């Protein structure tokens, strides 16, 4: 009887976990092919224009979009979505001609449409699929040559002798004249898989110095609430804003703080100037830059909010 109850509880827990899982759909409105990297793990084996990842257990992922055409670059973004939903993101160009990953729609899983024709669907995997990431690059070569057909005629007439000589040099180039020929070649290259070894996923310790949670904005996991409570107490124990600021800057470089946690640390400082100083510094290291607008709530002057917003816009 006890075993049966335990089995039922296990099944119930599994059903609940599955019920709260989510789907993400990425598609390129311009037809560009890409790879999807979630928490450092590549999901699709080959570059596609439409990728659907199912069975995602977490409500947010550090996401990287890598285009097959290397000239298009890469996108880095932290995606937040509601559990138990299918969320669609459009990989597109904005008004400035820059590629962005833009939220488009969200529906409960029960209302999600069936896979579209040609859509690459896969279940979220904590390990990368077999195969490398392939890139295509186009190289253009221009060759300058002479102008064909340049010639010279010589006529000689003497008593009893008539001579006509025509001299033609197909490679002769008069001053200022050029002919250009353009050759285009396309090459395909491969890089190593994104895996635990070179792009650590969330909850895996990165291969870097002990105590370092991230390199700049590449956070692997956010700081939990119990650890953050200890951080706040440690900072607050200092009597002066200058000392608190120095310690807070050291901590934010070693811990992946969220925007709300940065806001709480700003509240510890007594001076508006110190709050603004830390808010600017922390933006470079925060876990979820997309939510940084919440930090504005700590400022009592509109000028401080404007200065922080201007700093972020020009970042």
pLDDT tens digits for range 48-94? 999 999 999 888 888 999 999 988 989 988 888 888 999 999 999 98
Work out the percent of the chain whose per-residue pLDDT is above 70.
63
- The full set of domain ranges for the chain reads 2-132, 138-186, 214-313
The model's confidence at residue 21, banded by pLDDT at 50, 70 and 90, is confident
Where b means 16+ CB within 10 Å and e means fewer, 86-103 reads bbbbbbbeeeeeebebee
* Average pLDDT of the residues in 98-122: 87
Residue 36: band (very low, low, confident or very high) from pLDDT cuts 50, 70, 90:
very high
> Mean pLDDT lowest for which of 12-21, 123-132, 166-175, 202-211?
202-211
Q: Which pLDDT tens digit goes with each residue over 143-180?
A: 555 555 555 555 655 566 566 656 555 555 555 555 55
Q: Residue 134: pLDDT above 50?
A: yes
* Residue 13 confidence class, pLDDT cut points 50, 70, 90: very low
Q: What's residue 205's pLDDT?
A: 35
The pLDDT assigned to 58 comes to 86
The mean pLDDT of 132-153, rounded to a whole number, is 55
Residue 208 burial class via C-beta count within 10 angstroms: exposed 0-12, middle 13-18, buried 19 and up: exposed
Residue 126, CA distances (Å) to 9, 92, 162, 200, 313 in order: 25, 27, 91, 11, 35
Report how far apart, in Å, the C-alpha atoms of 291 and of each of 62, 177, 258 are: 14, 59, 8
pLDDT score of 285: 85
Query: What is the average per-residue pLDDT within 12-21?
Result: 54
> Thinking of the domain 2-132, which architecture would CATH place it in?
Sandwich (2.60)
How confident is the model at residue 314, as a pLDDT?
75
How many helices (H) and strands (E) are present in the chain, helices listed first? 6, 15
């Amino acid at each position: 009887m006890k075993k049966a109850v335990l089995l039922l509880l296990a099944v119930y827990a599994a059903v609940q976990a599955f019920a709260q899982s989510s789907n993400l759909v990425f598609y390129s409105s311009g037809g560009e092919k890409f790879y999807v990297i979630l928490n450092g793990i590549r999901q699709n084996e080959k570059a596609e224009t439409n990728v659907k990842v199912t069975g995602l257990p977490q409500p947010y992922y550090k996401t990287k979009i890598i285009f097959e055409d290397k000239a298009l670059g890469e996108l880095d973004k932290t995606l937040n979505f509601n559990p138990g939903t299918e969320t669609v993101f459009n990989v597109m160009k904005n008004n400035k001609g820059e590629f962005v990953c833009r939220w488009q729609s969200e529906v409960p899983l029960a209302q999600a449409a069936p896979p579209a024709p040609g859509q690459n669907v896969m279940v979220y995997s904590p390990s990368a699929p077999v195969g490398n990431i392939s890139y295509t690059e186009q190289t253009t070569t221009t060759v300058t040559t002479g102008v064909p057909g340049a010639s010279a005629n010589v006529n000689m007439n003497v008593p009893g002798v008539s001579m006509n000589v025509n001299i033609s040099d197909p490679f002769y180039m008069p001053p200022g004249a050029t002919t250009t020929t353009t050759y285009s070649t396309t090459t395909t290259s491969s890089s190593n898989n994104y895996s635990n070894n070179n792009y650590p996923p969330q909850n895996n310790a990165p291969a870097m110095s002990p105590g370092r949670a991230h390199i700049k904005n590449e956070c692997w996991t956010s700081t939990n609430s119990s650890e953050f409570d200890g951080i706040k107490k440690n900072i607050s124990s200092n009597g002066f804003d200058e000392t608190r600021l120095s310690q807070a800057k050291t901590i934010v470089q070693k811990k992946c703080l969220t925007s709300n946690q940065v806001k709480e640390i700003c509240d510890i400082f007594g001076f508006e100037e110190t709050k603004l100083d830390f808010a600017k510094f922390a933006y470079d290291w925060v876990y979820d830059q997309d939510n940084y607008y919440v930090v504005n709530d700590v400022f009592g002057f509109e000028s401080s909010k404007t200065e922080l917003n201007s700093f972020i816009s020009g970042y």
